Amino acid sequence: MDIVYIRELQVQTVIGIYDWEREVRQAVSLDLEMGTDIREAAATEDIGNTLNYKSVSKRLIAFIEGSEFLLVETMAEEVAQLVMQEFGVRWLRLRLGKPGAIRGARDVGVLIERGEAF
């Protein structure tokens, strides 16, 4: 299995359970690893034969910016399902962080893994 990845994708969205969090946009940060096979793309040098990280990033930005979540757990699950369903990804690991949410911590969040490695 090969991995196509995206690191520190920053997106502004409404996230949180407190009243003040429902009124402002906050940054979330994503690290995404997606299991794929890059051999055909490498052999043909054709972007159509690979998992296009730009397309994935643009789709995630649009989805997250247009959504509101109470919990990072919910956002992580929905992001994972979107990537797997829309891009045919069979396995992924996602770190979803909420920078600055806790005083004294640079970042907090969740790390999930979904699907089966091949």
**C-alpha dist (Å) from residue 53 to 14, 27, 66, 83:** 24, 20, 20, 11
Helix (H) or strand (E) holding 55: helix 53-65
Active-site choice (98, 99, 112, 115): 98
In the residue annotation, 98 being an active-site residue is answered as yes
CB 33 within 8 A of CB 92: yes
Tokens of 47: 């972007």
Residues catalogued as catalytic: 98
